[in-house]
Amino acid sequence: MPAYAVAHLHDVDVNAGIVEYLKRIDATFTEFGGRFIVHGGEQRAVEGPADSYVVVVEFPDYQAAQAWYDSPAYQAIVALRTENSVGVAVIADGCGADHVATDILGPAAG
C-alpha cells in the first residue's frame, strides 16, 4: 500500500538554499520509487497561515518512504529546507480505497 511523505511548510524563504534543495531533491526519490503528488500549483490555505504550502510525495510503501527520508542523499539536503522554512513533515501510511473515517476507531467502536 502506498505511503506518503507530507510537508506543510510556511514562511519559506526562497533563497539560494531552497533553490539548491529543489535542484537536488528529485534525484533522492529514484532509489525509493518516490514521486511528487502535490508540489507547487494552486493552493489556498482555508485554515492556518495564509503563506503555507503542502507538499506530498508518494512512495510504494511505508518502508520505502522511511528509507528515503533516512537516506544519506536526502539527509545531505534536508537542512537546506529546514533552515529556510518553518513546518511539519510527516511520513504516513496510505489507506485503502474502501477506507471510511470511522475505521480509525477500531472494531470496538462498532
pLDDT, the chain, mean: 94
Q: Structural domain of residue 25, as residue ranges?
A: 3-43+50-97
Backbone angle region of 48, left / alpha / beta, with phi > 0 → left and psi within -120 to 50 → alpha = left
Does residue 109 lie in a domain region? no
Over residues 8-47, the pLDDT tens digits come to 999 999 999 999 999 999 999 999 999 999 998 899 989 8
Does the residue 106 lie in any domain?
no
CATH number of the domain residue 16 falls in: 3.30.70.100
| 110 located within any domain | no
Q: Are 17 and 83 in contact (CB under 8 A)?
A: yes
Overall domain count for the chain: 1
The answer to whether residue 107 is domain-embedded is: no
- The helices-and-strands tally (H runs, E runs) of the chain is 4, 4
In a domain, 57, yes or no: yes
pLDDT score of 40: 87
| pTM recorded for the entire structure | 0.90
